[in-house]
Amino acid sequence: MTENDGLILITLFCLPLLSAILLMLIPSKERSLIIGLTGIASSLMFIVSIYVFLSYDFNSTAQYQGIFSLSWVSDIGFIAKDGIQLKVGIDGIAASMILLTGIVILAGTIVSWKIQYKIKDFFILLYILVAGVFGTFAMLDLFFWFLLYETAVLPMYLLIGVWGSTRKQYGAMKLMMMLVAGSILIFAAIFMIFAESQLGTFDMQALSSVQFDRNFQILVFPLIAIGCGTLGAMFPFHAWSPDGHASAPTAVSMLHAGVLMKLGAFGIIRLGFQLLPEGGQYWGPGLMTLGIVAALYGAISALKQTDLKLMTGFSSISHMGYVFLGLGTYSLIGISGAVLQMFAHGVMTALFFLLIGAMYDQSHNREIPNFSGLAAKMPIWSIFFVIAGLASLGLPGLSGFVAELHIFIGTFQSYPIIGGLAVLTAAITATYLLRMFSTMFFGEFNEKWNQLNDMNYLEKAGALILAASILFLGLWPSPWMNRIADSIQLGIPGVLM
Amino acid sequence: MISKYLYLLPEIILLTTGLLVLFLDAFSKELDVGRRIFGPLTIFGALSAGLVSLLFLGEEKILFNIYSVDNLTSYFRILLCGILFLLVLGTQEYNEKRIQHVGEYYFLLLAATLGGIVMVAGVELLTIYVGLELLSFSLYVATSSLINDKKSGEASLKYVLIGGVGSAILLYGLSMIYGASQSTFYEVIQVNLANPEIINLELLILGLIFFFAGIGFKLSAVPFHMWAPDVYEGAPTPITAFLSTSSKAIVIGFLFRFLAGPLLPVMEYWQWLILTLSVLTMIAGNLIAIQQSNIKRMLAYSSVGQIGYILMAFPSLSSETLSAALFHLTGYLVTNLLIFIVVALFYTKHDETQMIDDFRALSDRQPFLALALSAGLFSLAGMPLFAGFFTKFILFQSVVQNGYLWLVVIAVTMSTVSLYYYLQVIKQMYLYDDDKEDSKWSPSLSGIFTTGILFFFMIFLGIYGTPFYAFAEKATMILF
């Protein structure tokens, strides 16, 4: 990315904000206008995110590219000159995550057009959330990073509370309180880093060149890991996640499981590994332990679930466990795998939630045992579901395989026992998914569901975007791998090769 | 000589307006003026006093050195006049409908603001005490001014009794500080307290304890907060707003001058007192607020908790923390005023039952008011995009720099707790469908306008607050 591309990054996070403001000005009755505007806005975000991903510059030796900064707060109190800046820039990890957000928001927008109740307000909140997500991935200033991180969480309460289903108020409140509680730790960590550096600046670039005291790093890293881990549904701070997912509306589940949880893992890389590398190295085994526990726990819990959405929710915890496992190895291959897994799981789980939403809107039932033989009635739906499921259990050729392979190799290199457990988890994942397939898709068709239709064209379009990404990453992962590996080598000091 | 009295112009304007209102009210039959004239008069008085305050940005001591007109005074003059202006502008309709004697009521509001300015500007103990009593007495009476409302009278009585005790304790403390330092002038106190041979330490410490207890009553800091919920509940909503904004700002403004001046040499003796007050206030205020189902009581406890955050700045007294505290105070005032004005606008058209679920489905009827109220509540909880986030961030970073990380951790934790009870209101407004047969209502135009102004300021402070910080820094600069 060149210097001018910094403006593109600013555009990327202003675009959803502007769309939200524009939407506020449109009267709620103008339904077609709202749909048109959101269609244009989300497509633009999708295109810009692809541009950001493609324009990553391999020749650059800088840690971050496309830097653009605007002084925001300067020379006040303890804050030095240019202490708080609106500063954007990306590395390969952020570029992949921005692409993921672009894909999921486009698919999420398309399937949300069928919402009847207050569609305008829904999109306003959704776009505020998306602005927060894009901003967090692109920001290089701790103040704005935290501001946008919280902005991404804030609309979630109303999105789930108003448009959700089953126990929505409970789910919304639990999610909100747990995530905000988690961010207390991040807040404390940011202040500790700020005070310890004595630079009077929140600029991540300046802070990452500071060599913090080893003991300080060891003390502060867990705060970031737990704080961000709460959003990433890291065991044992995952309790909000199944309830939150089960009660959220389709597009919000997609964005939340697909993108927002990745924000947590991204925070551990950005704040934890890049600012406090020694702390990250020290706590690596701890992160791995929590990761493998989450992977096993999520998979075993998913075995028990009969609600399709709860099963997917627990499966998300399990897959995010792989991410923490990969991060904990603190090796090039492990962290690459973790970032790939973030992308792979993002598109896959978004597809899952899209499909579940497509069926639930018709049947108002998500209990797995209530269905059978759906493949005959809803063939396209079933095909997409099988693609997502196979990607989830790591079939070669689909996205999950590449990611999990990297993570497993990384884990075996450092702790073979944990690697063994990880493979066991993959086996359990295969069990619950294949069992669900056989129950729901095959066997005799249950006549009770005669009125069910296959997906409509909007849902097909959304699912197609996601399924294409799954296949793309599975068949040709090098665009991602090159960018991620390049950035890890440049950006995370002392990483094991 | 005459020109020196010109420095008192804003106070003179407030006083003249107040007396004019009182006079017109007393002879309203003879002069044939209606109730409607008092509101605009007050608004005009507050606005012109605020604008005139902009003229005095120098530093000048007048009236035999008992009164200091400087940047801090000007800052608070503008702040207090601004609050009065917006408060009356936003709640005129409420006042005309619910208040027994509107003329007297507006006079009391003007007098309270005047007393407040005297208290912040005074640099001599007796002067500030006169200012404090003018403020308190006006509010005691104003609290009881609802038409046919027993609760209002009860609240007033409670307020008089407990406020009186608070004043007495404060005065007792001040007299002991006087005994230890042998002067009532700030400058002399500072010099004398810095001299270890002169001061009587036992007397001083006892005096400090009484002083902070009295201040605790006036600020409704825990454990001296018991009166606040009852009074907030019974008082007319605009007076509740005044109590939770101006009244607190005034005491904080006085503390700025008093702690950073006369009491600075003996900081080690009172540091722990205010630290204890701050921690207790933050924790108790926010925890008790969770259980409230009455919106005004809930907001009462919430403003108790909010004061705890501002008190955090005093244990590590420095020009940075005080500027940050003043900046945060400004953000808090804007936010809280916004919330109370929306509540007042709502209860102008509805019976004042004060339950949180009165606000059910407000987002369907009055989307803007619902949006403003939720934004205000999110801002109090320190959520981003709104004033609360940015001003708290600045305040907390300066407190951390002074080595009080643990205090900030408590504060942030308590902000999260507060989010829970603020969400209860937001939940009612957005998540529930309407179950009441309620005829269409709309708030007054001036009410919407006021809400709009405050909403704009809240967002502006939250996103780009640097200019306001610069003002706050200039204001506190003269203290050091």
Express each pLDDT in A174-198 by its tens digit: 888 888 888 889 988 998 898 888 8
Mean pLDDT of A340-355: 91
Q: Are A256 and A101 in contact (CB under 8 A)?
A: no
Q: Which of A151, A169, A181 sits opposite B427 (nearest CB)?
A: A169
Tell me if chain B has a CB within 8 Å of the CB of A476. no
Looking at chain A, which residue has its C-alpha nearest residue B463? Answer: A72
At residue B436, the pLDDT reads 67
Q: Which of B323, B416, B466 sits opposite A181 (nearest CB)?
A: B416
Q: For residue A171, is pLDDT > 90?
A: no
For residue B396, the cross-strand partners are none
Q: Give how far A159 is from chain B: nearest CA, Å.
A: 10
Q: For residue B172, is pLDDT > 90?
A: yes
Residue A391 lies in a domain: yes
Task: Give B460's contacts in chain A (Cβ within 8 Å).
Answer: none
Cβ within 8 Å, pair B427-A161: yes
CA-CA-CA-CA dihedral for B308, B310, B312, B318, to nearest 10: -160
Bond from prior residue into A379 cis (ω within 30 degrees of 0) = no
Mean pLDDT of A49-68: 84
Spatial separation of the C-alpha atoms in residues A347 and B282, rounded to whole Å: 43
Q: Are A112 and A250 in contact (CB under 8 A)?
A: yes
Q: Which of B320, B408, B420 sits opposite A77 (nearest CB)?
A: B320
Residue A129 lies in a domain: yes
Q: Which of B321, B393, B400 sits opposite A143 (nearest CB)?
A: B393
Contact residues for B408 (Cβ-Cβ < 8 A; gap 6+): A188, A191, B312, B396, B399, B400
Cβ within 8 Å, pair A150-B397: no
Look up residue A254 and give its DSSP letter: H
Q: Which of B73, B55, B54 lies closest to B63 in space, CA to CA?
A: B73
Q: Which of B423, B464, B466 sits opposite A157 (nearest CB)?
A: B423
Task: Give B426's contacts in chain A (Cβ within 8 Å).
Answer: 157-158
Q: Which of A74, A151, A192 sits opposite B405 (nearest CB)?
A: A192
Q: Which of A76, A150, A195 sits opposite B383 (nearest CB)?
A: A150
Task: Give A170's contacts in chain B (Cβ within 8 Å).
Answer: none
Cβ within 8 Å, pair A184-B464: no
Q: For residue B1, is pLDDT > 70?
A: no
Mean pLDDT in chain B?
A: 89
Q: Which of A317, A236, A228 lies closest to A280 in space, CA to CA?
A: A228
Express each pLDDT in B280-309 by its tens digit: 999 999 999 999 899 999 999 999 999 999
Helices (H), B122-235: 125-143, 150-181, 186-193, 201-219, 227-234
Residue A56 lies in a domain: yes
Cβ within 8 Å, pair B412-A151: no
Assigned token pair, A349 = 């789980």
CA-CA-CA-CA dihedral for A478, A479, A481, A484, to nearest 10: 170
Q: Give how far B313 is from chain A: nearest CA, Å.
A: 13
Which pLDDT band, with edges at 50, 70 and 90, does B28 fall under?
confident
Taking an 8 Å Cβ-Cβ cutoff, which residues of chain B contact chain A?
A: 320-321, 323-324, 378, 383-385, 389, 393-394, 396-398, 400-401, 405, 408-409, 412-413, 416, 419-420, 423, 426-427, 430-431, 464, 466, 469-470, 473
At residue B181, the pLDDT reads 87
Mean pLDDT in chain A?
A: 87
Structural domain span for residue A208: 5-491
Looking at chain A, which residue has its C-alpha nearest residue B389? Answer: A147
For residue A367, the cross-strand partners are A307
- Integer CA distances (angstroms), B36 to A410, B16, B95, B342, in order: 78, 19, 10, 21
Best to test chain A binding among B357, B423, B469, B473 (most A CBs inside 10 Å): B423
Please give the radius of gyration of chain A, using alpha carbons only, rounded to the nearest integer: 21
Tell me if chain B has a CB within 8 Å of the CB of A24. no
At residue B106, the pLDDT reads 93
Q: Sort residue A288 into left (φ over 0), alpha (ψ -120 to 50) or beta.
A: alpha
Q: Which residue has the tokens 């990380």?
A: B405
Cβ within 8 Å, pair A169-B383: no
Looking at chain A, which residue has its C-alpha nearest residue B408? Answer: A188
Express each pLDDT in A205-236 by its tens digit: 888 888 888 999 999 999 999 999 998 888 88
Question: What count of other Cβ atoms lies within 10 Å of the Cβ of residue B285?
Answer: 27
Q: Which residue has the tokens 């970032």?
A: A339
Cβ within 8 Å, pair A78-B385: no
* DSSP output for A345-392: HHHHHHHHHHHHHHHHHHH---BGGG---HHHH-HHHHHHHHHHHHHH
CA-CA-CA-CA dihedral for A302, A185, A143, A73, to nearest 10: 160
Cβ within 8 Å, pair A177-B416: yes
Contact residues for A496 (Cβ-Cβ < 8 A; gap 6+): A329, A330, A331, A332, A414
Best to test chain A binding among B330, B466, B469 (most A CBs inside 10 Å): B466
Q: For residue A487, is pLDDT > 60?
A: yes
Assigned token pair, A142 = 């701790």
Question: What count of other Cβ atoms lies within 10 Å of the Cβ of residue B403?
Answer: 11
Is B263 buried (19+), middle (13-18) or exposed (0-12) by CB count in 10 A? buried
Domain total of chain A = 1
For residue B60, the cross-strand partners are B69
* DSSP output for A30-49: -HHHHHHHHHHHHHHHHHHH
Spatial separation of the C-alpha atoms in residues A241 and A178, rounded to whole Å: 10
Q: Are B180 and B207 in contact (CB under 8 A)?
A: yes
Best to test chain B binding among A147, A168, A175 (most B CBs inside 10 Å): A147
At residue B435, the pLDDT reads 67
At residue B439, the pLDDT reads 62
Cβ within 8 Å, pair B397-A154: no
Tell me if chain B has a CB within 8 Å of the CB of A240. no
Express each pLDDT in B343-361 by its tens digit: 999 988 888 888 888 888 8
Mean pLDDT of B188-205: 86
Q: How many CB pairs under 8 A join A and B?
A: 90
Express each pLDDT in B78-102 by its tens digit: 999 999 999 999 998 888 888 888 8
Task: Give A187's contacts in chain B (Cβ within 8 Å).
Answer: 396, 412
Task: Give A173's contacts in chain B (Cβ within 8 Å).
Answer: 420, 423, 427
Q: For residue A39, is pLDDT > 60?
A: yes
| Beta strand pairing call for A65-73 and A84-90 | antiparallel
Express each pLDDT in A114-127 by its tens digit: 888 888 888 999 99
Q: Which residue has the tokens 């793309």?
A: A472
Contact residues for A304 (Cβ-Cβ < 8 A; gap 6+): none
Q: Which of residues 157-216 of A touch B (CB under 8 A)?
A: 157-158, 161-162, 168-169, 172-173, 176-177, 180-181, 184, 187-188, 191-192, 194-195
Task: Give B389's contacts in chain A (Cβ within 8 Å).
Answer: 147, 150
